[in-house]
Structure 1
Amino acid sequence: MTSVDLSNVLHIQASVYHADLLEGIEFFQNRLLLSAANCWVAEGEASLLGYLISYPWLRTFPPELDVMLENIPPYADSWFVHDCAISPAAQGLGVGKQLFTSAQKHALQQGFTHTSLVSLAQANSYWLRHGYTAVDNTPQLDKKLAQYGNGACYMYREVG
């Protein structure tokens, strides 16, 4: 992903998420600045098909939604998958799986053997089927997950 892709990324994001979950262009610029090698797009012949935003993070708690980061934690021990969205026109074509597989391979090459993500309620069963385990909630985690909507779940998986 490059900054040239961001207008299309925002368009895809708006086409698949409720307005309460939309993150601004500043968020995407921030993640590109901090971890461009972990931000991916899938391109079709005429348009962007989807994107995946990920970065090194601490496995204990997810970052807040739509918050700028000053840096990647120096002791990051998890590959955090922040967002993966596929254009409605490309859904069902395996684009998400290809993005995730490529990004995960890259994360493994960086030495990460742990991955984490926040699953929206409607995707919980998908991630559970793919080997992720829900983290037991604490009051601090519940507060962070509230930003993602009812039923959101912090999950992790060992990889490698």
Structure 2
Amino acid sequence: MIGKAMTGRWRPMRVDDLTAVAAISDTVHGAAYTERPAIYVERLALYPAGCHVFVRGDGGPVEGYLISHPWRRDDPPKLDRPLGAIPSDADGYYLHDLALLASAQGTGAGRAALALVLRQAVAAGFDDVTLTAVNGADGFWAAQGFAYADRDGPSPYGPGTHLMRRTAAMW
């Protein structure tokens, strides 16, 4: 949808959004990459500035979510495991998850979410964003300026997943 305005908005995630967030995760990621609802509860509690949902209109249903936070760039958080705390030695910003229902795809929500994450990374004092691409999303992320940053050995999320990074030089 190049040149078309986004048809919704990202707003801060609230506790009452968490049921929808968990359902969207189950729908978008399937059994392989979904996380328990308690993981989303913890992320929101630990770093609310990095948690957002995509809605259309005032009071429209949640059609996507975004979770991001400071972290260690070469040690992505484990899937479906609590963080415990945001590390004091965080050296990068981590895009933990961006999930959109089919109804929100093609609305510009993905690009708007990335712009939001890049602004947050800069505001938090970081000059890169790292993510783990799953379900073949590495093509989307590569098109958004992310480069493969896989380390030697298996990806922490399993085969077919990729650690990717976008640095300030690519913004």
> What TM-score, normalized to structure 2?
0.84
Is residue 2:163 matched to residue 1:154? yes
**Corresponding residue SS for 2:94:** strand
List aligned pairs for 1:18-97, cutoff 5 A: 18-45=30-57, 46-97=60-111
1:126 and 1:85 map into 2 onto residues whose CA distance is 13
Instruction: Pick the aligned partner of 1:108 from 88, 103, 122.
Output: 122
Amino acid at match of 1:119: A
Runs of 4+ in 1 over 6 A off after TM superposition: none
Show CA shifts across 1:28-85 (max 9, x none): 0111111111111112232112110111000112110010011111011111001101
Tell me how far 1:121 sits from its aligned partner.
Answer: 4.5
> What TM-score, normalized to structure 1?
0.90
Over the matched positions of the two proteins, sequence identity in percent amounts to: 32
| Residues 44, 119 of structure 1: alpha-carbon distance in 2 compared, 3 angstrom cutoff | same
Structure 2: any 5+ residue segments left out of the alignment?
Answer: 1-12
Structure 1: any 5+ residue segments left out of the alignment?
Answer: none
Amino acid at match of 1:20: A
Instruction: Pick the aligned partner of 1:128 from 134, 142, 147.
Output: 142
**Corresponding residue SS for 1:18:** helix
Amino acid at match of 1:30: E
CA RMSD after TM alignment? 1.5
Instruction: Pick the aligned partner of 1:144 from 153, 156, 170.
Output: 156
